[in-house]
Structure 1
Amino acid sequence: MTESWTWHGGGLEAAKRHFGASEGDWLDLSTGINPHGWPGAADMAFDWQRLPDTGALARLEAIAARYFGVDAHHVCAVPGTEIGLRLVGTLVGGPAHHIVPGYRTHGAMIAGSIAIDWPAAQNATGNLILANPNNPDGRAVDADAMRDLLARRAGWLLVDEAFADGTPALGIAASVADARRLIVFRSFGKFFGLAGVRLGFVIAPRAVVAALRERLGAWPLSAAAIAIGIAAYADAEWIAATRQRLPQAAKALDTMLVRQGYRPTGECPLFRLIETEDADALFERLARQAILTRPFADNPRWLRIGLPADADALARLEAALGDG
């Protein structure tokens, strides 16, 4: 019954069709997207008759580079991290390993990539693909350990930092250099809560950036994505406040889940993972009450729960969890 929602989060339309509740009734906790998105986009206007400006794209990459702590020559904006992952995979090639549990696309980036767990990754040969913090279990590895892993490798280290904005000390984008086989991926939509903008970044040696630009061609991003990205990355006050707010909200979610008899895991403030005897049944029970979460086809004991937007949403989730 849950197969339709195990590929990615966000399958709200399918949930509405299957479970019958109207859109206004749904509480979508199936993704790891900040429920309090950057507010400035709502007031922005765009000239849809003009092609995106190349100078504006360069400004976006420059301001994002400052945010990431790298030189702009190492930054290439892409229309979503998903596309960035897949394009870089074709550029790098194999052999490769990807860490599981992990983001599903990591296993599809490089043909023939072999799934391994985190302990085995310490001695794996070839290219290595992983996320930090990890999705879906929220495992986080400190930056020193990641740099040590990089120093011991002969192949490429491909690090998906889509969820790193909330815990920036974990990021190793600043270690990217032309002489290092390190590529880092960053997402705009999750921390800034604007997944529909479809904006991401590949941070890589200049030769990789040049090859990626050739694959992307002219006008890889919309004018709206460029303008929103420039303004949001410049909003230091909102960024700082959000980095304080998200851990507090995650702590409230943890407290509630423990109160309901679950043990939440993960260090990413945008979601938590719980393990229960029959997660599919819990998914169904919550969905019947118009609360969408994220089940997993390869682990029927797991359910990922995104961050509720406010106290009312948290209370609604608690009531549904207790109605068993």
Structure 2
Amino acid sequence: MTRDHGGGIDAATARWGGARADWLDLSTGINPIPYPLPPLPPECWTALPDRAAQAALIEAARRFWTVPEGAGILAAPGASALIARIPLTAAGKRVTIPGPTYNEHAASFRAAGWQVAESGLSDAAVIVHPNNPDGRFHERPPDAPLTVIDESFCDIAPDRSHVAQATRPGVLVLKSFGKFWGLAGLRLGFAIGDPALLDRLADALGPWAVSGAALHVGTLALGDRQWAEDTRRRLADDARRLDALVVAAGAQVAGGTPLFRLYRTEDAADWKDRLARHQILGRTFPYSRTWLRLGLPSPEGFDRLARALT
């Protein structure tokens, strides 16, 4: 299976030229205005992460996401680390993953020997909520012995979260820190849900899975509700601004979230090439010749995108 992703500026420079610093990367759904990094204590780098720091992060996560009593929380070095290990720590033969969606889930289950289907009853089910790349929400999560609800982009709409389902046996709700907080390089993610499943995942990750820096920054960021509220408003405003620019250039809105927008074009590859000639990287998909996905530009990036589109 093709495991295509956003990013890949090095490949873009090889194809279209320019230096890495010249490029505006709109191929991901990462907040372009990240949470401001605080000064980090030296022990973040020099000492093994201690239990107190891990406990503080888990408590901050429990408060931020209003995690119900009875559901556990596991911090990990990115949601992708959890996605790769979940199929290896569960029993079953068939998983249902409705598509098109984020391709790492199917790739990870296939690598672990599972059969992947888009519909029907299975030993496991996965939904991405809101979905990537079209942004659709799932009103009700599936009911399977193992149910994975990937909420990597759901912090833009906390009222739509299915975290209340995390007390059900076999349920895991995944959260990504890198998207909404814009700190993808910190490598921090969370699984919320069935404590027995989380214990197996913790064993698979091993000790000290999350760095001292990620524990420190994550605890502060998850406790900063005002920043989160302000960011949701800004992302919504910027998404509307991006839509206006791209629609005026001839595309149609096909979906998305406030962190990324999906457009329908006559020829997505042509649009991607046109933008790339201005050192702006968009995202196309192997299963659609018309879909173009763009992340939000930085404040100075909007003018640059407008010039490229005209």
The secondary structure found in structure 2 opposite 1:305 is strand
Give the superposition deviation at 1:283: 1.0
Q: Does 1:114 align with 2:116?
A: yes
Among 126, 130, 135, the residue aligned to 1:133: 130
Task: Summarize the alignment of residues 142-153 of structure 1 with structure 2, pairs less than 5 Å apart.
Answer: 145-146=139-140, 149-150=141-142, 153=143
Deviates more, 1:128-137 or 1:280-289: 280-289
Q: Could you tell me which residue of structure 1 aligns to residue 24 of structure 2?
A: 27
For residues 151-200 of structure 1, what are the alpha-carbon distances to aligned partners after superposition, in whole Å with 9 as ceiling and x for unaligned?
xx2432211000000111111112211x4332110000000000000000
% same residue: 38
- Asked whether the 8 Å contact 1:61–1:72 carries over to 2, the reply is no
Would the aligned equivalents of 2:49 and 2:212 in 1 still touch at CA under 8 Å?
Answer: yes
TM-score (norm: length of structure 1): 0.88
Deviation of 1:114 after TM superposition, in Å, equals 2.3
Give the Å deviation of 1:267. Answer: 4.3
Q: Using the alignment, how far apart are the partners of 1:113 and 1:138 within structure 2?
A: 25
SS in 2 for 1:165: helix
2:170 corresponds, among 156, 170, 181, to: 181
Q: How many residues are matched?
A: 303
Aligned partner (choices 195, 218, 231) of residue 229 of structure 1: 218
Distance 1:13 1:199, change over 3 A: same
| TM-score under structure 2 length normalisation | 0.92
Q: Residue 255 of structure 2 aligns to which amino acid in structure 1?
A: G
Residue of structure 2 in register with 1:37 after alignment: 34
State the distance in 1 between where 2:107 and 2:95 align: 11
Q: 2:274 aligns with which of 279, 285, 290?
A: 285
Taking a change above 3 Å as real, the CA distance of residues 229 and 317 of structure 1, as seen in their structure-2 partners, is same
Q: What secondary structure does 1:202 align onto? A: strand
For the 8 Å contact 2:252–2:263, the answer to whether it is kept is yes
In the alignment, structure 2 segments of 5+ residues that lack a partner are none
Structure 1: 5+ residue runs without aligned partners?
none
**Hey, what does 1:316 align to over in structure 2?**
304
SS of structure 2 residue aligned to 1:193: coil
RMSD: 1.9
Mapped partners of 2:274, 2:70: distance in 1:
48
Give the secondary structure class of the aligned counterpart of 1:304: strand
Q: Is the 8 A contact 2:29 2:179 kept in 1?
A: yes
Q: How does 1:45-194 map to 2 (within 5 A)?
A: 45-47=41-43, 48-70=45-67, 71=69, 74-94=72-92, 95-110=94-109, 111-116=113-118, 121=119, 124-141=121-138, 145-146=139-140, 149-150=141-142, 153-177=143-167, 179-194=168-183
Q: Is the 8 A contact 2:170 2:197 kept in 1?
A: no
